[in-house]
Each structure stands twice: as structure tokens, then as C-alpha cells.
Amino acid sequence: MKSIGALIVDDEPLARQRVHRLLEEEKDITILGECGDGVDAISQIRAKKPDIVFLDVQMPEVDGFDVLGSLSQEVMPLVIFVTAYDQHAVRAFEVHAIDYLLKPFEDDRFLQSLQRAREAVQHGTIAASTQRLLELLNETRAERGGTKRIMVRTGGHISFLRTADIDWIEAQGDYVSLHCQGKRHLIRENIGDLEQRVQPEGFIRIHRSTIINITRIKELQPLFHGDYTVVLVDGSRLTMSRSFRERFFERVGAVG
């Protein structure tokens, strides 16, 4: 029987201990670790690539949705939400067929949830579950107004950039470069995924490899064949291709 790697994420030590105890009784489960906060969770999920993550939704600073929003689709695990949300909020999980444990939960309910996850791993249906999870994330981002902060690594430690402080974003292969107040921060994320996260916060894509903060625009200079140079307040000169031009003017016109 294939061993299934599990990670436990909860800011409450007693809650982590209980999940740990229940998982220890399952011979096919390997507990890869425990995380007491969202920052550690992001790091451990990327490094250990667990099959299943028991993820607390409500955590200070970086909550469960922030954790998932910081992950690429390639490392997205099967997620069992552990939540104290009321029944109204839980309906969102039910619609997307993503399992959840509503605190306080009984042992039998935990084992039922684990069995569903186990079957998804064994039958190779994690990809379908991941797609439903991404749909839920997109709905959640719309309700919450987009990503307010982005996690970056600087000099061996993790910090957070306010999305509003970013001037523009540039695709660099499997990474994106965040240009912020004269500094550059490289994070591993697809530019299309990041676009979805920051668009509600006043960003717009002007090129297949470029996203800009609308508030940083100083002027537009027309080029040939419908292209434009977008000049930002920090002096950056970026090309807007004509394939993004119509959406740009609709959006900026709507803004003001």
C-alpha cells in the first residue's frame, strides 16, 4: 500500500495534537510535519510536497486561503479544511466538493474525511480536486477584494510586500519579478495566476509578460501598429501590446 504524506497546519497546538494522534493510528499515513502558522505552511508544502494537508482556515496574519493562494498548481496538495466557520460559509466548501472538518469535530467525522482523501490519492483524482480548489480560491478572492500582501524571501527570511506598493510585475520564465520602490523581488509563480490575484487591487496586464499598477501610470506614448509605451512615475518605460490595448482602455476609463 502506498504511503500517503500528510501535513498538519493549525495555529492551535491542541488542535494539531489531536489531528496528529488520529493520523498516527493509520498505517498508510506518514506525518510529514506540523505548522503553527501560514508562513511555515507555505514553506513546508513547497519543500515536502505532501499528498494531503489538514489546513486551518482561520489563522492570524496568513490564513488558510492566503497559504493556498501562494502555491502554484504544481505543488497544490489535496486539502481538508479544518474550520470554525458557520454553516453558511461551509456551503462554499460543499459546492466545490472539497472536504472539511467543522470544529469541534468527532473522530468518526475525521476518519470519514480522511478516507475520502485517501481514495482520491489512490485513484489519482487529486487533479480534479485541485481544480475545484482553485475555483473556490477565485471566488474567495473576489469576495475579499484580491491579494493585499505577497510573500517574498529576502536575505534568508520571509517578508511581505503590500500589493499596493508594487509598481509593476514582469514574467521571467517560471518566476515573476516584482518591481517595488526601486527594488526587485523574485517569486516562483505563473504570471497568469498572479494576475488573477492582484487584478482586483488595481493592476492590469499590458503585455503577455507585464502587469502594471494603474496608480503608477504617468503617461502613454503611442508607437507603431497600435502599441504604446507606458511611462510610470518611477521612470520605467514599458510596452503595451495592441492585443491588451482594448481591455486596458476599458479598465482605465472605468477607473477614472
How would you write the pLDDT of the chain (256 residues) with one tens digit per residue? 578 999 999 999 999 999 999 999 999 999 999 999 988 999 899 999 999 999 998 888 788 888 887 787 778 888 888 888 765 456 656 655 567 888 888 999 999 989 988 888 887 776 677 777 777 766 666 656 667 778 787 766 777 888 899 999 999 988 899 999 889 999 888 898 888 788 878 899 999 999 999 999 999 999 887 789 999 999 999 999 989 988 898 888 644 3
The answer to whether the bond into 77 is cis (omega within 30° of 0) is: no
How far apart are the C-alpha atoms of 247 and 102, rounded to whole Å?
42
- 242 alpha-carbon distance from chain centroid: 30
Strand duo 78-83 + 100-102: pairing: parallel
The per-type count for the chain, helices as H runs and strands as E runs, is 8, 15
The DSSP secondary structure of 180-216, one letter per residue, reads: ETTEEEEEE--HHHHHHHHGGGTEEEEETTEEEEGGG
Return d(Cα 21, Cα 29) in angstroms, integer: 12
Q: How far is CA 30 from each of CA 5, 26, 34, 124, rounded to the nearest angstrom? A: 5, 9, 12, 18
pLDDT of residue 256: 39
What is the spatial distance between Cα 51 and Cα 111, in angstroms, rounded to a whole number? 16
Q: What pLDDT was estimated at residue 67? A: 85
Q: What is the pLDDT of residue 255?
A: 43
CA 159 to chain centroid: 16
Helix (H, G, I), strand (E, B) or coil at 33: strand
Q: The pTM is what?
A: 0.62
Domains assigned to the chain: 4-144 (3.40.50.2300), 149-255 (2.40.50.1020)
